[in-house]
Amino acid sequence: MASMATFFVKTTFPSHSLTKSFETRFAPPSKVNVFVGVRSRIHPGLRVSSGLIEPDGGKLVELVVDHSARDLKKGEAFQLPRVKLSRIDIEWVHVLSEGWASPLRGFMRENEFLQTLHFNSLRLDDGSAVNMSVPIVLAIDDEQKQRIGDSKRVALFDSSGNPVAILNDIEIYKHPKEERIARTWGTTAPGLPYVEQTITNAGNWLIGGDLEVIEPIKYNDGLDHFRLSPSELRNEFAKRNADAVFAFQLRNPVHNGHALLMTDTRKRLLDMGYKNPILLLHPLGGYTKADDVPLEWRMKQHEKVLEDGVLDPETTVVSIFPSPMHYAGPTEVQWHAKARINAGANFYIVGRDPAGMSHPVEKRDLYDADHGKKVLSMAPGLERLNILPFRVAAYDKTQGRMAFFDPSRPQDFLFISGTKMRTLARNKESPPDGFMCPGGWKVLVDYYDSLVLSGNGTMPEAVPA
């Protein structure tokens, strides 16, 4: 069967130059005519919309400069004070440059940072609000701040000394680390992965401004063709004549329970009257913690899922979401949902403990397993998005396959956690038949074999900050 890359075509889009001056950092809002349903369940009277949902603020904010201006901008960058970017900083430049955070036009200034921390939203000029639940900020230290001085522009460089972007009309303000951590994660306990990677040892200042990204962000890891921008995804959905797009985010391998949820969702949308609902299978591709399966191996596993026919390639678009992972539970899941609006999704599937993790100190989950879906149903700025909570799927021992849990016969069901799944794969043990497609399971076993062959037999280190 054809490789997963052939199931969609990457389309080249022209870059867009930024205007030279801004009254506001947000794209002008437009009035949006979309349906709003009962968001915690499928509503039988929900009106079917024929077009893709509008992005936040009315249009996508794309921050890569026009090709003809790139040499000029590179020259300008070498004349400006420099800020060196970490790998995670570059991932955020990627997110901003393609419009995942629309209508945000760059790293947050203080007023945007405070609105995000305290309200999980940003107020537009017309008084409306868009959701924004995680700060997208750039930290600098005292020495960098002094070097910048009175300059109103800085150049952002990668670790190899290549110019990545120019930050214009900058504002430098205090980095309130403890407040940021407490409000984003709901705890300041030690051991939060993203905090340790990006905040604890970061500078005491934040720098915000309007971004001009010199070239599209590429990682040259063999996966760039999967990194479709919101604009490219919208084009792909239009080519497929999608009248609904339902997004499924994951950072784990796909098992047959996931597939059951996704195929059942499509059936429910067809029953509502949609003619061609398209699934956006959207694995997170930015920073993840050390014990998560790396992106390269997850993409191999997803490819096998489609090759084995577990999901239908005709109604599935597989793409990589470039955002880093916070593991901030109900706060972060709002960001995941909001970004998919900008990619054209009007339905979002949410499961148990989305974006959650175990408590870093105590033996318990950090977040209540049901709070993520409850928060999404009430979150400011997400009113246009229809939230589809998971139905609980487990392995039905009487049928030998994954099925929706039947509380009248709990003894017939086996729940296989992510930890259990990883343990089985590491030990080269097979899960029950019907839990995961054989090709997908082999990829997981091969991944853990690769750790042994590398000589350490342990989990790989997280992406360095």
The pLDDT value recorded for residue 455 is 61
How many residues can be counted in the chain?
465
The pLDDT value recorded for residue 36 is 29
Residue 39's Cβ-side half-sphere holds a number of Cα atoms within 13 Å equal to 21
The helices-and-strands tally (H runs, E runs) of the chain is 13, 15
Q: Decide if 104 contacts 55 (C-beta within 8 A).
A: no
Predicted TM-score (pTM) of the model is 0.88
Place of tokens 């590429």: 218
Place of tokens 């991944």: 447
The pLDDT value recorded for residue 41 is 36
The pLDDT value recorded for residue 461 is 44
Mean pLDDT, consecutive 10-residue segments, the chain of 465 residues? 38 32 32 31 44 93 97 98 98 98 98 98 94 98 97 98 98 98 98 98 98 98 98 98 96 93 96 97 97 95 95 97 98 98 97 92 96 95 92 94 96 90 91 96 95 63 40
What are the residue ranges of helices labelled H in 209-328? 230-239, 256-272, 295-307
The pLDDT value recorded for residue 363 is 94
Closest residue by Cα to residue 132 from 144, 120, 119, 114: 120
Cα distances (Å, whole numbers) of residue 168 to 53, 207, 438: 31, 10, 51
The pLDDT value recorded for residue 391 is 84
The pLDDT value recorded for residue 462 is 41
Query: What tokens does 294 get?
Result: 């790396």
Compute the distance between CA of residue 73 and CA of residue 448 in angstroms, rounded to an integer. 44
* CA 97 and chain centroid, separation: 14
Compute the distance between CA of residue 368 and CA of residue 4 in angstroms, rounded to an integer. 36
Query: What tokens does 196 get?
Result: 């340790």
Share in percent of the chain as helix, strand, coil (round to 5):
35, 15, 50
Compute the distance between CA of residue 278 and CA of residue 247 in angstroms, rounded to an integer. 9
Compute the distance between CA of residue 327 and CA of residue 367 in angstroms, rounded to an integer. 10
Peptide bond into 193 cis (omega under 30): no
The pLDDT value recorded for residue 47 is 46
The pLDDT value recorded for residue 453 is 73
Residue ranges of domains in the chain, CATH in brackets: 67-213 (3.10.400.10), 229-454 (3.40.50.620)
Q: Decide if 152 contacts 168 (C-beta within 8 A).
A: yes
